[in-house]
Structure 1
Amino acid sequence: MLQDVSIVQQIGVAVLAVATVVWAVGLVRVMRKDRFDMEAWRQTPSLRAPALRALPAQQGPPRTETVELTADERAAFAGLVRQFGEGRS
């Protein structure tokens, strides 16, 4: 034993070492179990969502929507564009 290190510190290091080993073993077991479950899920076709295949295929980009602006709204928007454009010049 080291003479400069107290027995409490040595016990603490030993406890932390054991806890680390237990944590690592538990993590490996969980990861292996999760990998097995994922592989079983991939091989089972009944777990996949069949409703997603029934959706119609969208061709092209989504349809754009337009809104007609009044003259006052257009003028207000043009004022905002000028106001924001002044800061960039």
Structure 2
Amino acid sequence: MFQDVSIVQQIGVAALAVATAVWAVGLVRVMRRDRFDTEGLHQAQAQTLRALPAQQGPPRAETVELTADERDAFAGLVRQFGDGRP
């Protein structure tokens, strides 16, 4: 091939070219298989969704009463993280 390039480098380039071709063929096959298998996927998802328990709605809110000292400490943190803006 090339006189200025060693045989090891030539083998490396050839191996990378073969690996790239194998990867591209594999990617095309996977993409085609997934495209044609979407009908079965939709049916499987529908069965899975029916198997889940019914949702009751969002969880209820929880509140905690703070003491005056805790409120002051929290206000100080808010001021500190807000660059001193009230």
Smaller-chain TM-score bracket: 0.5 to 0.7
- CA 1:17/1:56 → structure 2, altered by over 3 Å: closer, same or farther? closer
CA distance in 2, matches of 1:85, 1:21: 57
Aligned to 1:81: 74
Q: Deviations over 1:8-36 (max 9, x none)?
A: 22222112111110111012112222232
Q: Which runs of 5+ in 1 are unaligned?
A: none
Structure with the bigger RCO (C-alpha within 8 Å, sep 6+) is: 2
Deviation at 1:63, TM superposition (A): 3.4
Aligned to 1:64: 61
Moved segments of 4+, more than 6 Å: none
**SS of match in other structure, 2:67:** helix
Task: Give the greater-gyration-radius structure (CA).
Answer: 1
- CA 1:33/1:10 → structure 2, altered by over 3 Å: closer, same or farther? same
TM-score (norm 2): 0.62
Identity %: 54
Report how many residues are paired.
Answer: 82
Aligned to 2:22: 22
Aligned to 1:49: 49
TM-score (norm 1): 0.60
Q: Deviations over 1:59-89 (max 9, x none)?
A: xx6533344x4xxx52222331353356425
| 1:25 aligned partner, one-letter code | V
